[in-house]
Amino acid sequence: MKRLISVPLEQMILMGALQLRSPKLKALILTETVEEDYGTPPGIEIRKRMSSLLRLGKNLGEAADFAEDPAISSVASEFIKGTVDKRTKAASFTEEQVKTLIYRLKLHRNARIFHKSLEDINNISIGNVDEEKFEKMAAIMEQTLSQVRKGFDQQPLSHIGKRQTDIEAKKLLEDLVTFVPGMFVSTGLPGLDRLIYGWERGNLVTISATRGGGKSTMAMNMGINQYLLTSNNVCYVSMEMTKKELWKRILANVSKVPHDLVRYPKNLKPTQRKQLGSSWKAFHRHGQDKNCTFTIWDIKDSYFTPMKLESYLAPFMYDVIIVDYVTLFYADGADTWKMQLEYSKYLKAMAKRLNCVVVLLTQLSDEERVKYGRSIEENTDYWIWWRWREDEEQETGDVELKLAKARHTSPRKFPAKFMLDVMKIETQGLLPYGGVSGDQGKRGPTSRSDIFSNAGDY
């Protein structure tokens, strides 16, 4: 069994996760390997500790710093500290080398899985082998093959026919025709939910409008509804506004107290202060009662990339990640169109890896396309855009939204009411065809007024 475990391999991979300068390569190790991939006790302990720290939003630091963590054993400390030469080597890994190390780690894990299954089959085969024993051995082997295939999930293949067992074919059919609670994530626009059921997990959704057109307000409003109406875990990632600015927008939205007064609370009336308190309490209590979270993450890192985004947020298992907005990512010298192409592809793949929905904000060009190139339009699963056409629209707030791309349904247009004084947007005039809400697995109140009706006061 010792031959199936490689101490140097596990040490190099874990050191790489700490020593590498590239956030992309760090994220590759942390998202593509799990605790079960490691076979040595210190390797398992260190990978488990890494996951715990990431869930708490902590920085892992370099290997020498990590070795000083009092929460790990002395054996694990020596394992991850290694030598100066090993740490230097780990810091210089290329992407190809990292992928090769991960591949070899998966091979060792699969070898251990096969070894265990062969031991189980050998134990069953002691004595006379009858039909019942043979079926048990065949079931063990089928289960083992399934586990091994899942171990190489970077480019998974889905077979039907000779490359799939009868058990796997039956399981695939069951997956296709069985409704799973939570398989859809609410769009955050209740009328649109009734039309398309919601976004599918793994989708990239793009929202576009001209400068000052209300993109952030729309995305925030969608996120608030996803949190309140269907109890999804939502993270709003802002590279433009501070968390205090964003929390004030949320407070205006849920309380219906004008945003100008929330920004400048000196002019608040006593009744408005009371309304703010009761609404904030209800917003907070909802997450406690329904076991969900609304997170704001305001980015101050000038070199922030989607790779850093994934490495930090992967352990938290969000249902929705809203990114405001794409051109504020660090471009590393690349042209804006090329940056949007690469980053939109990465965010779409990230949505699949994290089993969530990523909502990406972009600017709209004068030609009513995504500004700085059409690559995002090609990569996204859904694209909603609008623009203020007349001054009257800005006064009335009546705007026509366009679902210009919908990978799993037909494009549509639908009206919305922009109430920017309270940072609130409502969709109107949508007729259901199916009558199912966006996230059937997390049934909540039919309207936000149900949540806030009995909030009480702070």
Note the pLDDT of residue 432: 36
For residues 234 and 103, membership in a common domain is answered with no
One-letter amino acid for residue 69 of the chain: D
DSSP alpha helix (H) spans, 299-335? 306-313
57: domain CATH number is 1.10.860
Note the pLDDT of residue 314: 82
Angstrom distances, CA of residue 146 to CA of 37, 152, 156, 325, 434: 16, 11, 12, 40, 36
Residue of 439, 82, 458, 165 lying closest to 292 (CA atoms): 439
For residues 292 and 226, membership in a common domain is answered with yes
Tell how far CA 166 is from the center of its chain. Answer: 33
Does 173 reside within a domain? no
Note the pLDDT of residue 453: 62
Tokens of 205: 């959704």
For residues 246 and 363, membership in a common domain is answered with yes
CB 377 within 8 A of CB 358: no
For residues 104 and 203, membership in a common domain is answered with no
Tell how far CA 175 is from the center of its chain. Answer: 22
The answer, as to whether pTM is greater than 0.75, is no
Q: How far apart are CA 63 and CA 81, in angstroms?
A: 5
For residues 112 and 215, membership in a common domain is answered with no
For residues 215 and 91, membership in a common domain is answered with no
Note the pLDDT of residue 437: 36
Q: How far apart are CA 428 and CA 335, in angstroms?
A: 39
For residues 129 and 19, membership in a common domain is answered with yes
For residues 17 and 129, membership in a common domain is answered with yes
Q: Number of folded domains in the chain?
A: 2
Per the structure, the complete domain to which residue 386 belongs is given by 184-452
Three-state SS at 402: strand
Give the count of beta carbons closer than 10 Å to the beta carbon of residue 266.
Answer: 5
Does 164 reside within a domain? no
Residue of 328, 387, 335, 333 lying closest to 360 (CA atoms): 328
For residues 129 and 195, membership in a common domain is answered with no
Note the pLDDT of residue 150: 57
189: domain CATH number is 3.40.50.300
Residue of 192, 19, 189, 173 lying closest to 101 (CA atoms): 19
Q: How far apart are CA 325 and CA 338, in angstroms?
A: 16
pLDDT tens digits in sequence order for the chain, 458 residues long? 556 788 999 999 999 999 998 888 888 898 888 888 899 999 999 999 998 888 777 788 899 999 999 999 999 999 999 999 999 999 999 988 998 999 899 888 888 888 888 888 888 888 888 888 888 888 887 777 766 655 554 455 677 887 677 888 888 888 888 887 788 899 998 878 888 889 999 999 999 998 888 999 999 999 999 999 999 999 999 988 999 999 999 999 999 999 999 999 999 999 999 999 999 999 999 999 999 999 999 998 888 888 888 878 887 889 999 999 888 888 777 787 888 888 888 899 899 988 999 999 999 988 888 888 778 888 899 999 998 776 666 678 888 899 999 888 888 888 888 998 999 988 865 433 333 333 333 434 556 766 666 555 55
CB 134 within 8 A of CB 142: no
Does 159 reside within a domain? no
Q: What are phi and psi of 419, to 5 degrees?
A: -110, 75
For residues 108 and 216, membership in a common domain is answered with no
Note the pLDDT of residue 208: 94
Residue of 313, 325, 347, 307 lying closest to 240 (CA atoms): 325
Burial (Cβ within 10 Å: 0-12, 13-18, ≥19) of residue 218: buried
CB 79 within 8 A of CB 8: no
Tokens of 85: 């030469």
Note the pLDDT of residue 148: 65
